[in-house]
Structure 1
């Protein structure tokens, strides 16, 4: 198992009913594409990876469990965050993060 199956199921539930959602295995995790744009993912360490507004990264990093992601030991660009289980433990917390990613996706068009 390369990603947290329970987290993936919770992400599926948060995205339920939305058109144009597709799951893709990549980066050792399970990514969720909305309208063919990578929006959220369950990463290989059991964390939620979130695509977000680069201008809001500093604000979002103040939320519980949020941190700057790294890929192959290098920090990823602004606009990506990872959230560990402390920040996604409740359904409301996970849904809030998914909503941030969806809002950013909608703003990009």
Structure 2
């Protein structure tokens, strides 16, 4: 799955891969865009779009501990068999990316 996402994002000027959330996350313009983890992808699509997609029933809300992570959804890989299915979610992530806030950079200890 990571290779498929890598290929879909290869024409973007600023993409970085980071190990996060027990998987590989693809950062676009220093902002988390999409992650691959186990048998699913984590998509950052914003609260409004997440509500729409959750209503359709084709994804699950991200929950970290007891905290609901609004704007983030998990999509199971069995629903991403075709390029069109994967591109649908990647395009949602890329559409939200310019609106997303970048996380604050952590200062490294010396």
Normalising by the residue count of structure 2, what TM-score does the alignment of the two structures yield? 0.82
Mapping of residues 50-89 of structure 1, within 5 Å: 50-61=43-54, 62-64=56-58, 66-72=59-65, 74-89=66-81
Q: Do structure 1's residue 30 and structure 2's residue 24 form an aligned pair?
A: yes
Distance in 1, Cα, partners of 2:100 & 2:29: 11
Select the structure of larger CA radius of gyration.
2
Q: Which has the higher strand share?
A: 2
The question of whether the paired residues in 2 share the 8 Å contact of 1:37 and 1:105 is answered with yes
Deviating above 3 A after TM superposition, structure 1's stretches of 4 or more consecutive aligned residues are none
Correspondence for 1:3: none
Distance in 1, Cα, partners of 2:34 & 2:76: 13
Which ranges in structure 2 are unaligned for 5 or more consecutive residues?
102-110
Q: CA RMSD in A?
A: 1.6
Q: How many residues are matched?
A: 100
Normalising by the residue count of structure 1, what TM-score does the alignment of the two structures yield? 0.82
Deviations 1:4-49 (A, max 9, x none): xxx1001101101111000000121000000000000002x22110
Which ranges in structure 1 are unaligned for 5 or more consecutive residues?
1-6
Correspondence for 2:6: 12
